[in-house]
Amino acid sequence: MQTYSISIHGGAGTILKEDMTPELEAAYTKALDDALTGGYAVLEEGGSAVNAVKAAIVILEDNLLFNAGRGSVFTKKGVQEMDAAIMDGKDREAGAVAAVRNVRNPIELAAEVMRNSNHVFLSGKGANDFAIKQGIKLEPDDFFFSQFRYDQWKALRDSDNYSLDHTHQGLEELMKDKKFGTVGAAACDINGNIAAGTSTGGMTNKKFGRIGDSPVIGAGTYAHNTTCAISCTGHGEPFIKAVAAYDVAAHMEYKNMSLQNAMHEVVHKKLLELDGEGGMIGVDAQGNVSMMFNSAGMYRAMQNSKGEKIIGIYKD
């Protein structure tokens, strides 16, 4: 019988138990559980992998704990510019948006690009115009405000530094607050179709219209039924250079590797050659799940129809 499964992440980086309070840890665990449950419910009802991925990501985007949708970080200009992508492994249809503003759920907009445009990748004002035309839910700037994100940005805004949401870059105090991240999901449905999606506010204090790996098909997000569906998180630039998500698929296709071994090769070798800190989650069409990272931690969770369920934050 076909195994169905879902895996999600809420970002990777310097996530250490000693920096965490029991309350915060409980809040993260619950947030991951809520998103996992939302996505898994779609699969249990016989829904598609794409819909499961969307459902899980919408829940994460609506949660202020994560750097996506509502909880997105501030850019150099003090606004939120969000990136997202989704890909259907069944037909390799894909949709992506970059630097969109005021969109409540960028993953919904990416899905709209995938299904209802002739394009794959829209950016900036054009993507926002498309959102309005398609009736995608928008929210005022206030909706995206949170004090801790603002404080994170305040500590960086007068510098040329930009920062990965959870990674220490010499700013000891700021580090304490950096426990929030990009979100993503990958799912395999009852029909053996797989899909992946990723959504992010990017990096604090980013400028010049910087776009990370998350919405770049093949870099931060990729899905093809013959190999795997992958969503990445980490320092976007090396992930783009490594074409990280697709490289897992390539190792599976050309070297006949399992999902687990292919992901190990990319996360622990290929990315490290480029100082690519972070991780990824993925599924294959048999419902196998893999979650790996080369950073101190990664918010992650998985559930499958064999009764397995894992929620993790730190290295085991």
Residues 10-69, interacting with ligand ASP (CB under 6 A): 11, 67
Q: Which of 181, 218, 287, 297 binds ligand ASP (CB under 6 A)?
A: 181
Q: Would you say 82 or 252 has its CB closer to ligand ASP? A: 82
- From edge to edge, which strands make up the β-sheet containing 278-284? 221-223, 228-234, 278-284, 289-293
Question: From the list 14, 48, 152, 200, which residue makes contact with ligand ASP (rule: CB under 6 A)?
Answer: 200
Binding status of residue 295 toward ligand ASP by CB under 6 A = no
For residue 25, count CB atoms less than 10 angstroms from its CB and return exposed for 0-12, middle for 13-18, buried for 19 or more.
Answer: middle
Please identify which residue in 164, 216, 230, 283 interacts with ligand ASP, judged by CB under 6 A. 164
Which residues in the 208-247 window bind ligand ASP by CB under 6 A?
Answer: 212-214, 220, 233-236
Considering the complex, what minimum distance in angstroms separates the CB of residue 240 from ligand ASP? 8
Pick the binder of ligand ASP from 7, 48, 182, 225 (CB under 6 A). 182
Distance linking the first and last C-alpha atoms of the chain: 31
Q: How far is CA 161 from the centre of its chain?
A: 22
Residue closer to ligand ASP, measured from CB, 285 or 301: 301
Q: Give the nearest distance from C-beta 276 to ligand ASP in angstroms.
A: 10
* 150 versus 162: smaller Cβ distance to ligand ASP: 162
Q: Is 165 in the site for ligand ASP (CB under 6 A)?
A: yes
CB of 200 to ligand ASP, least distance (A): 5
**Least distance in Å: CB of 116 to ligand ASP?**
25
Catalytic residue among 14, 167, 182, 204: 182
CA 8, distance to chain mean position in Å, is 8
Q: Which tokens is 256 given? A: 């006949």
Is 14 noted as a catalytic residue in this protein?
no
Question: Residues touching ligand ASP: how many (CB under 6 A)?
Answer: 17
Closest distance between ligand ASP and the C-beta of residue 165, in Å? Answer: 5
Please report, as ranges, the residues that interact with ligand ASP according to CB under 6 A: 11, 67, 164-165, 181-182, 200, 202-203, 212-214, 220, 233-236
Catalytic residues: 182
